[in-house]
Structure formats: C-alpha cells, structure tokens
Amino acid sequence: MPVVYLPEEMDRKRLYAELLEAAKQLREKYDIRFSRDAKDEVEALYAILKALNELDVSPAKPKRSKRRSSKKKPRAGVERTLLFVKPDGVKRGLIGDVIRRIERAGLKIIGLKMVWLGEDWAKKHYPDELAPKIGAKAKKAFLEQGKEFPWTEEEYGRAVLEALRRYVTSAPIVAMVIQGPRAISKVRAIVGDTAPSRAAPGTIRGDFSCDDYEFANEQTRAIMNVVHASDSEGAEHEIAELFSEDELYPEYTTVYEELVGEF
C-alpha cells in the first residue's frame, strides 16, 4: 500500500503550486477534471484525494495496436503452405538454414513455432488407410529391381506407417506457414525430391541429406529428409492442424513486397 509523506512545514504558495501540478498530472493520466474554486490548499488536497479514491489506479495495460484481419483474401496467385523442419533437421541444427532458404527466395513467413507432435497428430497425418498404397508402391520398386517382396502390401505399409509415426514424434519440429506467389510449388521446389539421394544440389534435401528409400527400407525406418512441405491438396488442411488464425501474421510487409507488391 503506498504511503504519502506530508511535509511538516512548507510555504503555502509552494504547497498550492505543487498541488496544482499534481492535479495537472492526474488530469493527463486519468482524465480527471478539476476546477480552481478551492478556497485553500487543504480543500484542493481533499479534492485530489477524493478523486483518487474513486479511481482504479492500477497500472494501465499497454494498448495493443489493432491487427488487420489475418483472414484477408490473398491476391490472385498468392498461396499459403505449411513447411516444417522434421526431427532430424531440428537435431542437426538446420532450422536457421531452412528459414534462410525460404526468406532468400522472397517468400514471407507468416507463422512460426516449435511443436512436439503427439501420437494423435501422427495417426491423423499418417492414417492406416495409406498402408495399401505405400505397400503397393514399395512392392513395385522391389520387383523392378529384381528383388523378392516377402510381405503383403498391407503388412509392409503398416510397418512403414509405424516407422513414420515414431520418427515424427521422436523430437520437436519447427513449423512455419509461408505465403507468396505460387508458394506451394515454389516451396516444394526449394526443398527438393523426397528422396535426398535424388534431390538436386541447391535444394534443402539435396544439400543437407543423402538418405535413400531403399537404404531406409532395409533398416525399417523413416527416410531422413530434413523437412516436410505440403502439396496443393493438403496445404490448407495441414496449416489448420498446427496453426490457429490468431497465430498467423500476414499483415506485415517485407522489403521484397515493397518491390513486387504486397502478398
């Protein structure tokens, strides 16, 4: 509780001047209105104390500037996509390199956070329904190489899905929402082929990994390809899974936008 110390002796003119100054400060800070009809300093002091007693003088919270709605419709050709640095990329300290590639391309990051994904998310992202498709694709690759495929497509697909779920929940990811002209295809071009062994030099996967599906399959593990980038069918849904609209900030303008026009 604040304590007010009153002087034992003070010149009356000086006291009145200080009271008027206090009144001025209160008027500016709390929008109090005072009249000058007080008969003496005591009456002026009483008026100030009475006004303070009627106020909630707790420190005012700073006002946040009003944000433009993140739901503003993007311009024609402008898209949003989800990119996240996978657990292997996080563990290897590649977060900054990935962000740098995106920003240097002129794309705008409008959402960014670290998340440790759980089993529920992994099962939704890698559902059991994908097992036959994964198994059929693997079987075709095995047979083309003249290798025996000693599993059913369903069995193999489920084993791969389990490996993917363990992998994506093994450490945090760093997720980002990226906005820009043809952002979905542009980001996928920047990250490169899903198999790093086939990814072109200059892409994220081509520069930061040399893993291969055949090599990973022999060890029954997920391929370590550093990042995930949404395709045109999954971008909107995947963004909504990890980000709320309040976590997206498209309203700021990048230097690149000042040159080519706002996204």
Catalytic residue numbers read 228
- Which residue's structure tokens are 């990994």? 209
Q: Are 60 and 86 in contact (CB under 8 A)?
A: no
* Overall residue count recorded for the chain in this entry: 263
Which residues have a Cβ under 8 Å from the Cβ of 229 and sit 6 or more positions away? 81, 82, 83, 187, 188, 191
The amino acid at residue 35 is S
What are 110's two structure tokens?
């409008």
Helix ranges (DSSP H) in 31-94: 41-53, 87-91
What are 55's two structure tokens?
């106020």
SS (H, E, C) 14-45: HHHHHHHHHHHHHHHHHCCCCCCCCCCHHHHH
Q: Distance between CA 102 and CA 108 in Å, rounded?
A: 8
Q: Distance between CA 211 and CA 167 in Å, rounded?
A: 15
Q: Distance between CA 176 and CA 16 in Å, rounded?
A: 61
Q: Are 178 and 80 in contact (CB under 8 A)?
A: yes
